[in-house]
Amino acid sequence: MKRFCLAVDLVDDADLIAAYEQWHSKETIWTEVKKSIEDSGITKMEIYRTGNRLFMIIQASAAFSFEQKCEMDAANQKVQEWEGLMATFQQSLPWAKEGEKWVVMDQIFEFETRVNGFI
């Protein structure tokens, strides 16, 4: 199992942020987008927001790769349509590479506690 954390910013506009959150509600997110996430080997995805910054946690199978996911997404018309729609809400982080939206974060700290000798 792999885990990744990513970040992107939203356009700093309350109405756009509210619309972005609405698009990600269980009732609104497109079935084809959820299927593409599952088909790529992602087993769990969470998105959190503070202000206009988004933080995503991905848990994926050992076989998952961002390269393969990008290839699959490029060949999926509905995912491309979704990405185009989401681009109206998102803005790249200042240090993102050209054309990059979500930026993979580096882990800098981990702490694990033991309870009764078990982790």
Per-residue pLDDT reduced to its tens digit, 19-70? 999 999 999 999 999 999 999 999 999 999 999 999 999 999 999 999 999 9
CATH class of 2-104: alpha beta
Total Cβ atoms within 10 A of residue 53: 13
Q: What is the 3-state secondary structure (H, E, C) of 23-83?
A: HCCCCCCCHHHHHHHHHCCEEEEEEEEECCEEEEEEEECCCCCHHHHHHHHHCCHHHHHHH
pLDDT confidence of residue 52: 98
pLDDT confidence of residue 85: 98
| pTM for this predicted structure | 0.90
Domain boundaries, the chain: 2-104
| SS3 state at 86 | helix
Structure tokens at 72: 């699959």
Of the pLDDT bands very low, low, confident and very high (cuts 50, 70, 90), residue 116 is confident
